[in-house]
């Protein structure tokens, strides 16, 4: 698993990234442009 660290600044755009959902679908941040997005990271042990 690749992990990158970036510093975010209020008012600046975040870099585009892709996340996989629990059902295996991939979601690209840029495909939600113009919409509100809430991303919740859960730390699971399953």
Ordered by start, the domain boundaries in the chain are 1-46
pLDDT at 46 over 90: no
The pTM (predicted TM-score) of the whole model is 0.59
Rounded CA gap, 8 and 42, in Å? Answer: 20
Give the mean model confidence (pLDDT) for residues 11-39: 90
Give the mean model confidence (pLDDT) for residues 2-17: 81
């Amino acid at each position: 698993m690749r992990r990158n660290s970036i510093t975010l600044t209020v008012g600046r755009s975040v870099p585009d990234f892709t996340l996989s959902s629990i059902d295996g679908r991939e979601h690209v941040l840029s495909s939600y442009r113009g919409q509100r997005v809430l991303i919740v990271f859960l730390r699971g042990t399953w």
